[in-house]
Amino acid sequence: MNIKDIVNRDIVNLTNCESEPIHIPGSIQPHGFLLGIRKGNSRIEFCSANSAEYIGIGPEKVLGKDISEIFPAEQASRFTLYAADETIDSAKPFVFDLNATSFNTTVHQSGGNVILELEPFPDGTLNLPNLYSQTRNFVSIMEKSSGLLDLCQEVADETRGITGYDRVMIYRFDEQYNGEVIAESRREDLVSFANQKYPHTDIPAQARELYIRNPLRMIADIDYVPVPLLTIDDTTDKGNHSLDLSLSILRSVSPIHIEYLKNMGVGATLTISLLQNQKLWGLIACHHYSPKILPHYTRLSALLQGHFLTSQIAVREVAEEYNIGEQVDKALVDALSILHETENFMEANHKSPALLKLANASGAAICYEGTLYTNGLVPSETELLDLFRFMANTYPNQTFETENLSEIYPAAKSISKYAAGIIYHSMVSGENDGILWFRQEKIETINWAGNPDKAILPNEDGFRLSPRKSFELWMETVKDRSAPWRKSEINAASSFSYALQEHINYRVIRTQEAQNRTLNEELRLANKELSNLNWISTHDLKEPLRKIQIFASKVLDREDPDLSVQVKDSVERMRFAAEKMQLLIEDILTYSKAGTMEKTFVVTDLDDVLRNVVSELQDTIDEKGATLQSDKLPSIEIIPFQVHQLFINLISNALKFVKTGEHPAIRITTGIVDAAEVPSEKTASGRYHAIAFHDNGIGFEAEYENRIFDIFQRLHPAHKYPGTGIGLAICKKIMENHRGFIGAKSVFGQGSVFTIYFPVA
Ligand code: BLA
């Protein structure tokens, strides 16, 4: 019979350790020996090379034999029953006795094999732990420790008490599996590792994977010589003879890791996985500075500490999140009340500490109408302006947060000291405006307690693997990164940003209101001045004008033969000009009165108004041989004297602008129309009485349809059609006073239609 070993001799080094198949080393640690049988069979297929040291029988005599040929038949048949169970309870290991030695036998299935790991009881007795007192202790710890860190400290102390290791650490992973020692219980003379940080590469992915499946590992003596696993070399069998030792307790450990521990001066370790949601949350890592074999039941007690701690992690983390959330909320409330109490938060309160606390930020900056307002630790002004510009372009009208700004903004590498992580909210007040909260780079914020230099022993190959190197690597992996933002912090920052935006909007409205107020005041003064002007035009202008007219008339009436024809002509022109000026003054007066006079609305029958107007204009009508025809007009609420004026103006125009040789024919029609039919750009709404004045006059070009209502707008030569150019402007103002409109349509040379629109009550 030929025997071969199944040792994995692939060379592992620092560059390929991620792919080292640590679950199939083909060797074990020597503090026990290993046997392997096929499932449902009792022939021994695998045997570790050290069997003779424990049972006095070498592998060449063990391999190929039945269990019952090595151990007493009674034990062998009990074992067959024990191993047939689908789930083997590790709390009840099998015990083989041979030559007055008891072997604690841990049994598990691996693929098609059943693996037996036999360890002699180190102190010769089977020491059952006092689970009752262990549990009672934990419950009291649970009650007295308030936070997660307290609890970890207690568990570290308790685990050291139970196991006797020189150092017990609670090691926690971050999202990238970088680790940190968050609690430590140690022999007093040892240097502390508390708060030390390690990169994720110190525990490669396949190792973490393995530790999820197998929650406990022990290295009993760092200086051990691995013991090969042997099997029968059957040349006819080309099968794969490797043995998966994932769940094994004696598995030989990766040489890389051994080197690491040696460099630290460690003699033995025990590691227990701490899981949360099927992921590795952390480890309980125990170090001893000399070899140490922990008996089976003590290992189980240590494992129980791990279970105790794991059971509390989620609850404590939620409680911690809650506490932080509460502090954040409080800071938010403070910040909001400051915001609401101040006129201009940017100017007066941007340095308020609550602004930072609400997001647990190390700095904050507001960019408002291009001006920067900063609080706490922030990059320089130019760097900030560049960053705001970048954010406004990349995330317009958005919010954004990151713990690694340089990932999206390479220029951030130079500002990581202040701005490794940011929360950003854009604001609409001006170009590039927004608010930023900053977090420093993690490295900057380390409160360094453990000195990694102290955690190494001198070694001739230059500490290739050592905590010092690890720490440098950790710094590389977390470079330019801040601690991640919590949900509560992100939410508080949002709430504050929205409130700040409102604050700014409110300020804009307030400034506009103030501007409107000043404008109104200016308008009021202008109006007052205007009515003074009216006063001047009526009294101060009219009076001298009247005198000019009187004296001109006197000169002309005297029929003085001494006056030359030329002088008479000049005086006549002077009188005419004065008359025109008087007319103009009167019209301006009417126009301005139309705006300023008291407006009393009375329900009036427009037919009555029309009748009065016609009788006032009767002479002209007769003189021009005009005809006037009207629909029945409605009764509406109007300012009667103004509408009288309006009708006078419209009908006078129709009588005035006639084609030579024709008699004016005026037709007034009425109806009700929708706002859409009213010729106004904006404010028409509801329904309107539309009253149209049609004439057969000279009309005007379509382009004048709007301008015709402007003051002093004249379309026709004054000598032919005299007037001041104010009449239609007065009509427009009157219609405005009635919340109505006026419009004009015409075909040049064929007549015009002027329509007035009164809102239907
Ligand atoms: C495994 N590395 C581990 C383990 C720990 C550490 C806790 C689990 C193994 C065990 O149960 O003991 C790391 N141990 C630490 C750290 C401290 C500690 C950080 O006590 C700090 C106090 N290791 C490296 C590098 C590589 C590496 C650079 O530092 C690879 C290039 C590999 N570490 C490595 C491997 C394992 C490991 C392969 C698996 C060991 C095994 O289970 O076989």
For residue range 7-50, what is the model confidence (pLDDT) as tens digits? 888 777 767 777 888 999 999 999 999 999 988 888 999 999 99
Check if 254 has its Cβ closer than 6 Å to any atom of ligand 1: yes
pLDDT confidence band for 460 (50 / 70 / 90): low
pLDDT of 178 > 70? The answer is: yes
pLDDT at 321 over 90: no
Residue 456: per-residue pLDDT: 59
Whether residue 761 has pLDDT greater than 60: yes
End-to-end CA distance of the chain: 118
| pLDDT in the model for residue 19 | 81
- Asked whether residue 124 carries a pLDDT value surpassing 70, the answer given is no
- The full DSSP string for 223-269 is TPPPEEEEEE--TT--S------TT-SSBPPPHHHHHHHHHHT--EE
Q: Residue 458 — pLDDT band, cuts 50, 70, 90?
A: low
Residues 633-656: what's their mean pLDDT?
93
The finding on whether 220 has its CB within 6 A of some atom of ligand 1 is no
What tens digit of pLDDT does each residue of 607-629 get? Answer: 999 999 999 999 999 999 999 99
Alpha helices (H) along 26-102: 51-55, 59-62, 67-70, 73-84
So what's the pLDDT on residue 494? Answer: 95
- Say whether pLDDT at 354 is over 60: yes
CATH topology (fold) of 3-120: Beta-Lactamase (3.30.450)
- Residue 180 Cβ inside 6 Å of ligand 1? The answer reads no
Q: Whose CA is nearest to atom 31 of ligand 1?
A: 14
Is pLDDT above 90 for 603? yes
Any ligand 1 atom below 6 A from CB of 24 = no
pLDDT confidence band for 198 (50 / 70 / 90): confident
Confidence (pLDDT) at 382? 94
Contact of 437 with 381, CB cutoff 8 Å: no
pLDDT tens track for 289-312: 999 999 888 898 999 999 999 999
Nearest ligand 1 atom, CA 169: 22
Closest CA to ligand 1's atom 25: 202
Q: Residue 123 pLDDT more than 70?
A: no
3 state SS of 171: strand
pLDDT recorded at residue 759: 93
Q: Which pLDDT belongs to residue 493?
A: 96
Whole-number Å distance, alpha carbon 284 to ligand 1 midpoint, is: 13
Residue 640 Cα to ligand 1 midpoint, Å, equals: 101
Model confidence band, residue 582 (pLDDT cutoffs 50, 70, 90):
confident
Q: Which residue from 721, 741, 717, 739 is spatially nearest to 731, judged by alpha carbons?
A: 741
pLDDT of residue 160: 95
- Above 60 in pLDDT, residue 459? no
Whether residue 501 has pLDDT greater than 80 = yes
260 close to ligand 1 (CB < 6 Angstrom):
yes
Task: Express as a percent the part of the chain with pLDDT over 70.
Answer: 92
d(CA 302, CA 286): 10
pLDDT of residue 706: 81
Residue nearest (by alpha carbon) to ligand 1 atom 4 = 203
Q: Across all residues in the chain, what is the average pLDDT?
A: 88
Whether 530 shows a pLDDT value over 80: the answer reads no
Cα(202) to ligand 1 centroid in Å equals 5
* Residues 719-749: tens digit of each pLDDT: 777 777 888 989 999 998 899 999 999 988 8
Asked if residue 310 lies in contact with residue 276, where contact means CB atoms within 8 angstroms, the answer is yes
pLDDT-derived band at 86, boundaries 50, 70, 90: confident
Query: Residue 462 pLDDT more than 60?
Result: no
Residue 537 has what pLDDT?
62
Q: Return the residue whose CA atom lies nearest to atom 20 of ligand 1.
A: 285
- What contacts 482, CB < 8 A, 6 or more positions away? 403, 404, 420, 421, 439, 440, 441, 442
pLDDT value of residue 457: 59
Contacts of 716 by beta carbon, 8 Å cutoff, 6+ apart: 657, 698
Closest residue to atom 16 of ligand 1, CA basis: 202
- Cβ of 207 closer than 6 Å to ligand 1, yes or no, is yes
Q: Greater confidence, 62 or 128?
A: 62
Q: What is the radius of gyration, based on Cα positions, of the chain?
A: 51
Q: Convert the pLDDT of each residue in 212-266 to its tens digit.
A: 999 999 999 999 999 999 998 876 655 557 899 999 999 999 998 998 898 888 9
In whole angstroms, what is the distance from residue 758 CA to residue 739 CA? 7
Task: Give pTM, 2 decimals.
Answer: 0.66
Instruction: Give exposure, 565-583, as e/b (b: 16+ Cβ within 10 Å).
Output: eeeeeebeebbeebeebbe
In the sheet that holds 197-198, the strands lie side by side as 197-198, 179-186, 167-173, 279-288, 268-276, 216-219
Domain boundaries, the chain: 3-120, 486-596, 597-759
Query: Taking 80 as the threshold, does the pLDDT of residue 588 lie above it?
Result: no
Mean pLDDT (whole number) for 383-412:
92
CB of residue 170 inside a 6 A radius of ligand 1: no
DSSP state of 12: -
* Cβ–ligand 1 contact at 471 (below 6 Å): no
Scan for tokens 């103006």, then name that residue.
649
Residue 40's pLDDT is 85
The single residue listed with the structure tokens 């030695």 is 101
Compute the distance between CA of residue 284 and CA of residue 674 in angstroms, rounded to an integer.
83
Higher-confidence residue of 683 and 209: namely: 209
pLDDT at 201: 83
Query: What is the per-residue pLDDT for 555?
Result: 80
Class of the domain covering 597-759:
alpha beta
The model's pLDDT over 543-562, given as tens digits with 9 standing for 90+, comes to 888 888 888 888 877 766 67
pLDDT, tens only, 667-693: 999 999 998 888 875 677 889 999 999
C-alpha dihedral, 670 to 671 to 674 to 678, nearest 10°: -20
CB of residue 612 inside a 6 A radius of ligand 1: no
The pLDDT-based confidence of 451 (bands split at 50, 70, 90) is low
Percent of the chain clearing pLDDT 90 (strictly above)? 54
